[in-house]
Every structure is written in C-alpha cells, then in structure tokens.
Amino acid sequence: MISRRDFMTVMTATAATTGLGGRLGSAAAAQSISQDDLLKFEPKGQVTLLHTTDCHAQLNPVHFREPSVNLGVGEVTGKLPHVTGQAFLDLFGIPADSLDAYTLTSHDFVALAKNYGRVGGMDRMATLIKAIRTERPDKTILLDGGDTLQGSYTALQSKGEEMVEVFNALGCEAMTGHWEFTLGHERLREMVDKMDFPFLAANIIDNEWEEEVFGHTKFVERGGVKVAVIGQAFPYTPIANPRWMIPTWSFGIREKVVQKRVTAAREAGAGLVVLLSHNGFDIDRKMASRVQGIDIILTGHTHDAIPEPVKVGNTLLIATGSHGKFLSRIDVEVTNKKMTGFAYSLIPVLSDAITPDPDMAALVKSIRAPHEDHLNTVLGHADSLLYRRGNFNGTFDDLICQAMLEERDTDLSLSPGLRWGASLLPGEPITWEAVYNMTAITYPSCYRIEMTGETLKVVLEDVADNLFNADPYYQQGGDMVRVGGLGYTIDINKTIGHRITDMTLLKTGEPIDAARSYTVSGWASVNEGAEGPAIWDVVADYVKRKKVINVQPNQSIRVVGA
C-alpha cells in the first residue's frame, strides 16, 4: 500500500496545482461536462507545455480500460503508478461515479463507459490544443512522446505517414519514439524527413560512425524563457523489438549522456529543461534522482495516467496516459532561470463533450475513407468486456491465445504483453478494425514451433525479470507474456530463475515436464524470417467461426508477493 508520507506528498501537490478530479466529479453526476469544463484552468507563468504520448495511431475516439493490476517491486512497491482501482480512487479522493474514475481506473468500467462515452480522437485533441494556443499565444509548446506512428490498420498501410501528416497538422514541435523503429531504419528516416518538427533521441548512436543518429536537443523561446527539450527514445528497442530492423543503431539509457545534454543546455542559457522521454515511468523516476538539472520529465511508454505531477528532488514527472485519452497541460513560472512555480491539468479528451476541429476531422476522414468498408466489416460480437491492460492477463489477449491454440492446433500459445489496443464493451461488434487495433505490427507472423518445458520456463522467467526486476534500469517495459493452455504461479519478489513454479498443462491438468516437447504457437517474434499466417487473420478466422466471444478473466495464473 502507499505510505502516509507518499499520500501527503500527493495531496500537497494537488493543493498546489489545478487538477480536474474534484470539479469533474460533481459535474459528472449531472452528466453536464462541457468543453469549457475540460479546458478550465488558471494560467501561470511564462511557458505552457502540452504533452501527448502513446496514442498508437488512434485517429478516432475509442474505449480504453486502464489496468486493474499494475504491480511495483522493490522501492516502488505501492507507489504511483503502481496504485490501481479503489486504492487509486481513495488516494486522490475521486468519486466512484466520476469522469476521473472512468478515465483513470478500471473501476466499474463498463457502466461508466456507457455513461461517459468514448475518449480521444485527433479532431477533439486538435480542438483542445488550438483553444489553449489561442489563450496562450507565443507561450505554448506541443510535444509528443512517441508510439505515435504505429497501432492501427491505416498507420500500417501508410507505413506511418498518415500520423506524420496528423502531427504536422497539430503543430507538434518535437517527438521521440519507440514503435516508430519497427518501421525499419530506412522508412523511419523517410518519415523523419517529412516531419515539420525534430525527432529527438539523444540516446541512439550509429555503430559505424559512432555519432548520434538523430538530433538530441531543441531550443525554443517562449514568454521570454529559453526552453531546452531533450529527447530520450525507448532504450531497449533492439531487445523488445526486432534488432534486424535497425541493425546499425545502438540504444541504451545512457544516463551520463543525458546529464551531458542537460548541463550543456543550462550552459547555453536554458531557463527550463524538459526531458521528452520514452523510458517508462520507473526508469524516469530513477533518472530524475540521479541526473541533475532536469525541471520536467514528460514520461511515456508505460501508458500511466496520473492526475498530478510526481516530484523527485527538483524534477516533476508528468504521465499523460495513452490512446489519445489525455492531453497534459503544465504552466511554468521561471525566475532567474529557475522553475519557481507551476500549475497542472491532465485533461481527459472526452469525445462527446468536445466539438471536433473541422480541419483535423477532414484530414482523418481522408485518411480513413479508402479503408472504411474493410475496417467496419463485422467478424463477430463481444459478449464480454474485451481489453488488454494488466500485468498478467487481458481478455482480448486471452482471445488471441485461444485463437492461436485452435487455429494453429498447438498445446500452448504465447502472446506478447503489449500495452496498446482499444477495448470493446459487451454487445459491441468485433470488426476488422478492432482486431487490427490489437495486432497491427510490421512482423505479424503467427509461428508454430516445438518447445521443451525447460525452454518454456526460461522464456517466462526472462520476461518476468524484464517486468519485475527490482532495479528499474533493467526493466524493459511491457507486461507479462500472455499464455494459452498454461497455468503457473509467479512470485514477483524473487529473482530470475526462481519466480515461476507450478507450470501446468491446462488441457490435461498435468505438470509441465521440463524434458518433454510441446507444440507452441505465438506471434511478434523478434527473429528475422518467422513464418506463419498474419496474427490478424488467425484471430479473424477464430472470431468468424465462433461468432460470439465471451472471455471471462483468466484464473490460471496465481500471483504471490503482490
């Protein structure tokens, strides 16, 4: 549980900033939230930072359920963002029937989703951004944290170009990345050349030339303040994603490089230093405690949505969620090249309350028009809530695992612990678009291989260590690999090699035999040359055959030490 000290820290921050929780709680009860309510804010200081991140190419409004399980280990046990559900509501004093309860937690998600509707949509995001720019001319900076060019069918078809068009139209002023690299190094360079803004990544080095691949810092003047924006791409991209797509680039956290860039920015006269990061929250929390001189870290990758900044030393961490659900606004006061005050709002992009921007709506329509018939084709219907997020399970992931078991005829199945993918409510159609929103990657082959029980345990242990290593610098993001046909026990507080026990083949109830070979299906292999049908075809065939999909929460994984 979160400590009293942490609770008081959060409450103090709440009192010092402009949050939405209490105000929208009462407004929500009357279903009277307006665009003006969402934008209400007391301006402060000379600079306004706007932050988006992890939209995963979602152009239209969606439903997106936050995780009910998000466990921390070691020093971050029970600390934000590892507080969920009722504990999160209690921590921030959020009413259970409020908009904040709906957007920030999994609490009563289906009922609240029916009350409040969808979130996001780039035409709604454009409306909010334009309104704030109008209010704060010559003071506003829009920054994007990456995972922007991937995550939908249309982005896959355009190889990222449609999202470059969208963020050019939004007036983005800098971006960093992660899934962008799965376009491949040549295509990504083409997309960067089309951007009207810099793609910043101080931590990527070309192995041949031993120099930075992209720019590292952008300086902008706002309200008489020189602002330095330093980019930090996802440090573990060649491990989490295919190395062969970016063969000559090396990544890493590179803490000393970040310190060097921060120091240089200060020496160049920056009064405000911002790290535009795709490290993930816990890595950024550790970095904030070790790198001196960063005022604000705009964090991404782990999809956390926190309604107040988390302060580490003199650094504020801002977590803006994912899928276009939120727009962060932080107004900063700078005196004598030092941040002396701020006001913050995590603005929910409540689609029914916001008037779509006509220019962005027209652009989105033009992007989607050639694909609408295919995207809207109904494959089946959901009879239960289908979602992805959670450390160990998501019902849509369980659907994917079951589809692989049956369509590929295997004993077991493995699906990556991805954090992106829109949710479906009970009764909603499962369309081609819904399937692509969960599977749209550039290496989609659904393989079928033989794997011994011993190898299977090694795979599970390795992924568990990526997620639950006590040192955040060794956490490589994502959630636990999803499994089909398998049950096991995991002790999150043990070390690698000792977390996974009681592995069971569910169809027989027998223990997994380390020496026995099992047939295993999976997808998103990072190895070049993986063979098999595209995962979206596997899932679509299964849904069309079953017609109605009802997936209850998976009870086959037992978690110890949480």
- Decide if 241 is inside a domain: yes
Together in a domain, 75 and 222: yes
Tell me: the pLDDT tens digits for 387-426? 998 899 999 999 999 999 999 999 999 999 999 999 999 9
Together in a domain, 258 and 381: no
pLDDT of 82 above 80: yes
* Residue in 332, 259, 322, 263 with CA at minimum distance from that of residue 291: 259
pLDDT of 13 above 60: no
Q: In whole numbers, what is the pLDDT of the chain averaged over residues?
A: 94
Name the domain boundary from 336, 366, 396: 366
Write down the pLDDT at residue 359: 98
Tell me: the pLDDT tens digits for 335-371? 999 999 999 999 999 999 999 999 999 999 999 999 9
Rama region for 244: left / alpha / beta (φ>0; ψ in -120 to 50; rest): alpha
Separation between Cα atoms, residue 349 and residue 352, nearest integer Å: 9
Together in a domain, 451 and 343: no
Inter-CA distances, 480 with 39, 169, 171, 278, Å? 37, 36, 36, 19
CATH of the domain at 137: 3.60.21.10
Position 459 confidence tier, pLDDT thresholds 50, 70, 90: very high
- Decide if 156 is inside a domain: yes
Range from 10-14, 427-431, 460-464, 508-512 carrying the lowest mean pLDDT = 10-14
DSSP state of 321: -
Write down the pLDDT at residue 561: 83
Together in a domain, 353 and 395: no
Together in a domain, 267 and 201: yes
Write down the pLDDT at residue 476: 82
pLDDT of 1 above 70: no
Mean pLDDT of 226-239: 97
Write down the pLDDT at residue 301: 97
Together in a domain, 259 and 118: yes
Name the domain boundary from 366, 396, 426: 366
Q: Is 313 exposed, middle or buried (0-12, 13-18, 19+ CB in 10 A)?
A: exposed
Write down the pLDDT at residue 21: 44
Write down the pLDDT at residue 188: 98
Inter-CA distances, 445 with 104, 477, 527, Å? 34, 22, 11
- Decide if 401 is inside a domain: yes
Percent of the chain with pLDDT over 70: 94
pLDDT of 11 above 70: no
Position 279 confidence tier, pLDDT thresholds 50, 70, 90: very high
- Decide if 332 is inside a domain: yes
Residue 343 contacts by C-beta under 8 Å, 6 or more apart in sequence? 17, 18, 41, 42, 43, 44, 45, 330, 331
3-class secondary structure, 141: strand
Q: What is the DSSP string of 426-462?
A: TT-EEEHHHHHHHH--S--BEEEEEEEHHHHHHHHHH
pLDDT of 450 above 80: yes
Percent of the chain with pLDDT over 90: 92
Mean pLDDT of 93-115: 97
CATH of the domain at 458: 3.90.780.10
Together in a domain, 467 and 435: yes
- Decide if 227 is inside a domain: yes
DSSP state of 355: P
Range from 31-40, 173-182, 309-318 carrying the lowest mean pLDDT = 31-40
Number of domains the chain is built from: 2
- Decide if 32 is inside a domain: yes
pLDDT of 23 above 70: no
Position 14 confidence tier, pLDDT thresholds 50, 70, 90: very low
Together in a domain, 387 and 334: no
Together in a domain, 411 and 523: yes
Write down the pLDDT at residue 24: 54
Mean pLDDT of 125-142: 98
- Decide if 371 is inside a domain: no
Together in a domain, 348 and 248: yes
Together in a domain, 437 and 361: no
- Decide if 415 is inside a domain: yes
Mean pLDDT of 263-287: 98
Write down the pLDDT at residue 18: 38
Write down the pLDDT at residue 22: 46
Name the domain boundary from 314, 341, 366: 366
Together in a domain, 399 and 539: yes
Bond before 242 cis per omega within 30 degrees: no
Note down the domain range covering 436.
Answer: 376-560
